[in-house]
Amino acid sequence: MAQLDGAEVAKHSTSDDCWVIVHGKAYDVTEFLPEHPGGMKIILKYAGKDATEEFEPIHPPDTLDKYLDKSKHLGSVDMKTVEKEEKEESPEEKERLQRVQQVPQLDQCYNLMDFEAVARRIMKKTAWGYYSSAADDEITLRENHAAYHRIWFRPRILVDVEKVDFSTTMLGTKVDIPFYVTATALGKLGHPEGEVVLTRAAKKHNVVQMIPTLASCSFDEIMDAAEGDQVQWMQLYVNKDREITRKIVQHAEKRGCKALFITVDAPQLGRREKDMRSKFDDQGTNVQNGQQTDNSQGAARAISSFIDPGLSWKDIPWFKSITKMPIILKGVQRVEDVILAVEAGVQGVVLSNHGGRQLDFARSAVEVLAETMPRLRELGYQDKIEVFVDGGVRRATDIIKALCLGAKGVGIGRPFLYAMSAYGEAGVDRAMQLLRDEMEMNMRLIGCTSVDQLNPSLLDVSSLAHHGTGTPRDYLTKWAYDPLVNPPQRSSKL
């Protein structure tokens, strides 16, 4: 088959006749336009042109095969004949590229916050907007870590801590450190290889990776990247079409996934204003004051329209009927629902508020954990379910606090994305190594030599629930407020 040339493709550039090029191949997407979950407009921007750069991080490579009829696959294009768009770099982008040149050396990063600070400097504005944003005023986003700071240690001394072992078991899998890589979407926004970078780092440190539904890599690519007996779990957004869900789940089980984490805190994906704002193009003064323009609602909305807001407790038996994988509910936020989960017969829960990306003023997972475990013990339920937490974990001390309170393990998401975005696999590797170093040190300093010795008496949680006044700052209100001033000096007429 002869290659198409760019001029030919360029002719099809309207909503009635729309071709686009992706990875050197042309596709006729005219009929698909109205169905595109991210909206028609974003495609039309590339009508008749090469859309690869925009397409790449948002869509797994098997997307076009899965969702576009073969008849619309028009064949390969001679890319030399495709006109390159000359994009003049904005001043902001030039400054960013300068910052990329001057990125700190990897071994100047001594903790997980450092990776975030570096990623903030060098990531593209829209990618940073997608990763770092959270719901409304981002109070819960910050509360997640801040809550750990309201827990203090009561360490034991004069314990022989020469040998410290902080390996543990989660859902039957032995892991070297009590964390797992939790599911986060769109890995290629941060790194061209996407989620497989995390797979390789997880293998190296013998921890579990949870594979996201909304990965940039395809599910099979991520499974294929695993080595030997490396364990992976699957995170699931439940599709309105349960047959699609059934296929996905059963495929995952067949490929060897060891657990199914069903997300229950996202009947609709959150409004994330920083993400929205990062998408906005200032179109200058030729747009009239107050005139509405149709701008994107951010990446989150675009990719999540299939999620079923009708998912409910009644669906749990069906899930149990289609898979033998242990089922874990991800996103439980109050003790009453943990009890319901036990009674529904699932194997675990993740106390989580989705990294603060869904409901602002949801409490931190660690606070819900402190509410949950004593109640489970009262009911004799403590061994009937594995309780995980995620959100805000940045230090080994955070992990230790969660384990003292009764968690089986903690999920860590954004910090590894930031490390990957800043330094690739070496960054993720170092991030995990830093946590390992901190774990060893702090297990010793708290006077425990193994994870099963961690218990609530090693903590002072008396201030954990007093968060009213320590609430993270409300920046939008702060910037908007016009503070009172004392009388100004008079102007000098001299």
The region of 172-180, 202-210, 243-251, 389-397 touching a second copy under the rule CB under 8 A is 389-397
Spatial neighbors of 28 by CB under 8 A, at least 6 apart, are: 12, 18, 19, 72, 74
Q: Are 313 and 338 a contacting pair, CB within 8 Å?
A: no
218: tokens are 């395809």
Shortest distance, position 457 Cβ to a second copy, whole Å: 8
Are 54 and 318 within 8 A, CB to CB? Answer: no
Q: Residues near 189 by Cβ (< 8 Å), separated by ≥ 6?
A: 57, 123, 124, 126, 127, 130, 131, 216, 299, 421
Q: Does residue 329 interact with a second copy by CB under 8 A? A: yes
Answer yes or no: are the C-beta atoms of 164 and 445 closer than 8 Å: no
Least gap, CB of 333 to a second copy (angstroms) = 5
Between 245 and 442, whose beta carbon lies closer to a second copy?
442
Whether 46 is a known active-site residue: answer no
| 3/453 with CB nearer a second copy | 453
27 noted as active-site residue:
no
Closest separation in Å from C-beta 50 to a second copy: 28
- Cα angle: 279, vertex 32, 38; to 5 degrees: 20
Output the DSSP codes for 427-458: HHHHHHHHHHHHHHHHHHHHT-SBGGG--GGG
Catalytic residue among 28, 265, 390, 429: 265
Judged by CB, which is closer to a second copy: 71, or 321?
321
Region from 81-89, 209-217, 224-232, 326-334 binding a second copy, contact rule CB under 8 A: 326-334
Q: In sequence order, what are the residues at sequence separation of 6 or more whose Cβ sits closer than 8 angstroms to the Cβ of residue 216?
A: 56, 57, 58, 59, 60, 185, 186, 187, 188, 189, 194, 195
321 binds a second copy (CB under 8 A): no
Instruction: Give the C-alpha separation, 442 to 462, whole Å.
Output: 21
Per CB under 8 A, the list member of 87, 88, 380, 494 interacting with a second copy is: 494
332 binds a second copy (CB under 8 A): yes
Site map (CB under 8 A) of a second copy, residues 99-138, x = contact = x-xxxxxxxxxxx-xx-xxx-xx------x---x---xxx
Radius of gyration of the chain (CA): 25
Q: Is 237 a catalytic residue?
A: yes
487 binds a second copy (CB under 8 A): yes
* Residue 92 within binding range of a second copy, rule CB under 8 A: no
120 or 258: CB nearest a second copy = 120
Is 489 an interacting residue with respect to a second copy (CB under 8 A)?
Answer: yes
Size of the site for a second copy (CB under 8 A): 136
Local structure of residue 158 (DSSP, 8 states): S
Q: In what order do the strands lie in the sheet with 13-14?
A: 4-5, 73-78, 25-28, 17-22, 13-14
How far the first Cα of the chain sits from its last, in Å, is 85
- What is the pattern of x (binds a second copy, CB under 8 A) and - over residues 353-372? -----xxxxxx---------
Site string for a second copy, 415-454 (x = CB under 8 A): --------xx-xx---------xx-xxx-xxx--------
28 contacts a second copy (rule: CB under 8 A)? no
Query: Is 383 one of the binding residues for a second copy (CB under 8 A)?
Result: no
For residue 35, the minimal CB distance to a second copy (Å) is 20
What's the half-sphere exposure (Cβ side, CA atoms, 13 Å) at 207? 26
The DSSP output letter for 13 is E
**229-288: contacts with a second copy (CB under 8 A):** 264-265, 267-268, 270-271, 273-274, 276-277, 280, 282-287
Query: At closest approach, how far in Å is the CB of 373 from a second copy?
Result: 16
Catalytic residue positions, numbered: 237, 265, 354
